[in-house]
Amino acid sequence: MLICIDKMHVAWAGSGLFGFFMACIFPTTLLMAEESVQLTGRYGSALVFASSVGEFIIPTGMGNILAGLGTFYFLWSVLIFILIIFIMLVSVHFCAHKIQQNIRIEKEVSNINNKDNNDHV
């Protein structure tokens, strides 16, 4: 990329490479979700909905940034978007972990209550 004279070629090549390497994010997110939460049709459709909303918002934001600031700030804007998405994924992971702990505790309490009720009968 350093031998390109025109900055526009660098911007197009960087955009293409960015899109190519982002293709694995959606399947990876689904696999991570299946490990964290029991993925049902309801959760799966929520993930697909959220990803399609992100597909509309992120390119619009990137286009506005590039139109307003120029192609020089493309990599900086990509870095900012990646950091925001990383923070969101980490927070979702911790929320899912907390929900799983609460479900386990509720199941244990339910089992203890059922055992106590069976002992009294």
Residue 2 lies in a domain: no
% of the chain beyond a pLDDT of 70:
90
- 26 burial (CB, 10 Å; 0-12 / 13-18 / 19+) is middle
> pTM of the full predicted structure?
0.46
Q: Which has more pLDDT, 20 or 73?
A: 20
* Rounded Cα–Cα distance for residues 16 and 70 (Å): 17
Residue 1 lies in a domain: no
Structurally, the chain folds into a number of domains equal to: 1
- 57 burial (CB, 10 Å; 0-12 / 13-18 / 19+) is exposed
Q: Which has more pLDDT, 37 or 9?
A: 9
Residue 101 lies in a domain: yes
Q: Structural domain of residue 116, as residue ranges?
A: 7-120
Query: Residue 1 has what pLDDT?
Result: 46
Token pair for residue 28?
Answer: 């990876």
Query: Among candidates 59, 80, 60, 63, which has minimal Cα distance to 71?
Result: 63
Query: Residue 119 has what pLDDT?
Result: 61
For residues 85-92, average pLDDT: 87
Query: Among candidates 101, 1, 89, 104, which has minimal Cα distance to 50?
Result: 89
